[in-house]
Amino acid sequence: MSDTQQVRSCHICENACPVAPGSVGLCGRYGNRDGVITELYPNTYIMACPIRIETMPMLHFHPGARFLQVSTVGCNFDCPGCISAVIVREMHPQSKALQEYSPEQIVEKAILSGCRGITFLMNDPLAAFETFLAVATLAKARGLHVGCSSNGYFSKESIQRILPVLDFINIGVKGLSDEAYHVCSGLKGFAPVLRNIKLLHEGGVHIEIACIHRKGHEDELLRLCSIIKDISPVIPLQMMRFIPLEGADPEQEPLIRESETLSKQMRTILDNVYVFNSPGTEELNTVCPHCGDTTIVRDFYGPMGARMKGSAVREAEQPLCLACDSPVQIQGRVFDIDFREKDFQGGYPFTRALEIVESILIAIGVSSKAEVVHVWEYLLCNNKMQDLHHDIQRVESYIHMIRFFGSLVHREESADVLANYLEDKVSLVRSTCRQDGKRPRVYYAMGKPQFCIKGERFENHLVELCNGVSVNREIEICGRPGMSIALDTLQQLNPEIIFISAFISNSPIDFYNECVDKGLGIDAVHNKRIHTAPIPSSDFGGPKWILGLMNIANEMHRGVCAFDIPGEASKFYERFYGTSFNAQDVNRSFGKPDTSWTWEAEGGQPSPTLA
């Protein structure tokens, strides 16, 4: 057998897949070409846009600075409940939606966009390692900072190649056991990740660690804190409160209160611990380790994201706390630049947008990834994402969008069935609510009491369809999908009813107790009229928002509206998903109807011709 006919071990990640000539490794991104392990889809990107670094998220490296986010598709891991599933598993690397940029073009794009550097996120740079290395090398030569988010499964060879050009990294730790990594296709367990964290720290790379808080795994996270402390107690730990997506178990989602309580325990071990996926939490703020004053204030900014709102730091060679003049544990200066990403650009809202499209297509009978990708390609190739963001905020344009998507995949009849169903139900809800004669003042929160959803969002439109007054529209706020407001502002709004988002929700009891603890004397608290939808993600995103609308009507107009939500959900699931409804199987994915839903086998219906 000649040298070019031999099986080669892939040197990119620790899985070291044996790759036969003409074949590919487990991730499908590297092949054996003439005896050389070769990246198959170099220099192609699903996303290249400016972001603020907290969107990555990265909290202690040049806070507030602008970086160019680059993302490809695919991953060397296959994690249950992956937040990037639509680009990791479902978008083909040869899709028309991907754009080709040379390393020179990426670096030039960063410079022209006023970015301090380039960061690779949403999928793992190990899926496009040679591309990332080429960009990183050129970026460093042009004076830019370079970073990435990664599962940290670099091989010994690739970690040595990337170390000289890497300034910062967010490593997502999947667990401390080999079993946790085997579930994600990490064949050699946790040890390679720990080895690489140590090598990165010794190499002077700024490290932040991300971990998932699943209910019942608290002891494991405390052990992780001790492991990190042995490397350096100042390494920031980002605790991501688990959002059950795709096929993940909804029972593993902890309450916001539970994650906040755990973070306080973790801070007895590490200096800097943060809570993500918990709108309204103060556990995203940086506190001076010397005097306890808040040095940087942040807010929730979508799944896995944060947003810097302000700082109390004095600029010096090492930033100093304004209160006590002690050094704060931040690398680089703090930037107060008023820059905001475009809608559906930057971080994981992009993947949520693709999920919304997917949810509509599944509801009109699409079961083939190829058909879904066809519509994604239409939107991305024709710069229609901004239109999508606009159209999903109003019922009328949402329903029009259903019919349009149906025409793209030649399913006009089934799209009409769904659209007509939604129109009829909306008309029934509207007419029934108007029989009450009352127009209650309604506040829509996400997570905790002070996180106010922006007035123009879909949830507030549902309130108005139910003949309510959306108090969210009475104040000007920004952020994504809203922002935290002052207690006095909420007090002045004085809503009669409060709804908590059905996507990143909270226990109404916890929500009420926090209102009481903070002394909120508003009518909704006095009357204990605080609600969330009984079905996750049923007030925004996928077509099952119609179930959330009926629930809103019931709570706003008691005695007048009495929609049978479980019964309506059963009919909806049977009619549009071809399956029975089980509330315990419904997770927070916009795209998939429940944990058991799967695509048809590969080789199914071919993609239509792109319009």
Q: Has residue 611 got a pLDDT over 70?
A: no
The pLDDT confidence band at residue 71, using thresholds 50, 70 and 90, is very high
Query: Does residue 50 lie within any of the structural domains?
Result: yes
Domain end: 306, 321, 336, which one?
321
Q: Indicate whether 20 and 74 sit together in one domain.
A: no
In 3D space, the residue among 291, 294, 240 whose CA is nearest the CA of residue 266 turns out to be: 240
Q: Indicate whether 28 and 130 sit together in one domain.
A: no
Distance CA 477, CA 483 (A): 7
Query: Does residue 419 lie within any of the structural domains?
Result: yes
Domain end: 365, 400, 425, which one?
425
Omega before residue 57 within 30° of 0, cis: yes
In 3D space, the residue among 464, 317, 310 whose CA is nearest the CA of residue 393 turns out to be: 464
| CB-CB contact of 123 with 98 (8 Å) | no
What are 456's two structure tokens? 């123009």
Q: Indicate whether 50 and 33 sit together in one domain.
A: no
Ordered alpha helix ranges (H), 369-522: 369-381, 385-391, 395-408, 412-434, 458-465, 487-493, 508-517
Domain count of the chain? 3
Mean local confidence (pLDDT), 116-145:
97
Predicted local distance difference test score (pLDDT) of residue 84: 86
Predicted confidence (pLDDT) per residue in 435-447, tens digit: 998 999 999 999 9
Query: Does residue 135 lie within any of the structural domains?
Result: yes
Query: Does residue 357 lie within any of the structural domains?
Result: yes
What are 30's two structure tokens? 């590297």
Query: Does residue 59 lie within any of the structural domains?
Result: yes
Predicted local distance difference test score (pLDDT) of residue 604: 37
**pLDDT above 70 covers what percent of the chain?**
97
Query: Does residue 91 lie within any of the structural domains?
Result: yes
Q: Indicate whether 308 and 355 sit together in one domain.
A: no
| CB-CB contact of 485 with 449 (8 Å) | no
Q: Has residue 606 got a pLDDT over 70?
A: no
- Look up the domain containing 29 and give its range: 3-39
CATH number at residue 93: 3.20.20.70
Q: Indicate whether 99 and 157 sit together in one domain.
A: yes
Q: Has residue 120 got a pLDDT over 80?
A: yes
Q: Indicate whether 314 and 391 sit together in one domain.
A: no
Question: Tokens 């730990």 map to which residue?
Answer: 237
Q: Indicate whether 32 and 48 sit together in one domain.
A: no
Query: Does residue 411 lie within any of the structural domains?
Result: yes
Q: Has residue 607 got a pLDDT over 50?
A: no
Predicted confidence (pLDDT) per residue in 204-225, tens digit: 999 999 999 999 999 999 999 9
Mean local confidence (pLDDT), 544-559:
97
Q: How far is CA 26 from CA 184, 302, 509, in A?
A: 12, 31, 46
Q: Has residue 2 got a pLDDT over 70?
A: no
What are 205's two structure tokens? 């790379």
Q: How far is CA 520 from the centre of its chain?
A: 31
Mean local confidence (pLDDT), 472-496:
95
548-580 as b/e, with b when 16 or more CB fall inside 10 Å? Answer: bbbbbbbbbbeebbebebeebbeebbeebbeee
Low-confidence winner among 3-17, 230-244, 297-311, 410-424 (lowest mean pLDDT) = 3-17
Q: Which H or E run contains 49?
A: strand 47-52
Q: Indicate whether 315 and 398 sit together in one domain.
A: no
The pLDDT confidence band at residue 85, using thresholds 50, 70 and 90, is confident
Q: Indicate whether 168 and 182 sit together in one domain.
A: yes
Distance CA 141, CA 290 (A): 37
Q: Has residue 81 got a pLDDT over 90?
A: no
Q: Indicate whether 99 and 148 sit together in one domain.
A: yes
Domain end: 385, 405, 425, which one?
425
Mean pLDDT score of the chain, rounded to an integer?
Answer: 93
Distance CA 592, CA 336 (A): 39
What are 389's two structure tokens? 């963001």
Mean local confidence (pLDDT), 491-500:
98
Please, what's the largest Cα pairwise distance for the chain? Answer: 85
Query: Does residue 172 lie within any of the structural domains?
Result: yes
Predicted confidence (pLDDT) per residue in 253-294, tens digit: 999 999 999 999 999 999 999 999 999 999 999 999 889 999
Q: Indicate whether 57 and 154 sit together in one domain.
A: yes
The pLDDT confidence band at residue 347, using thresholds 50, 70 and 90, is confident
Predicted local distance difference test score (pLDDT) of residue 489: 97
Q: Indicate whether 286 and 418 sit together in one domain.
A: no
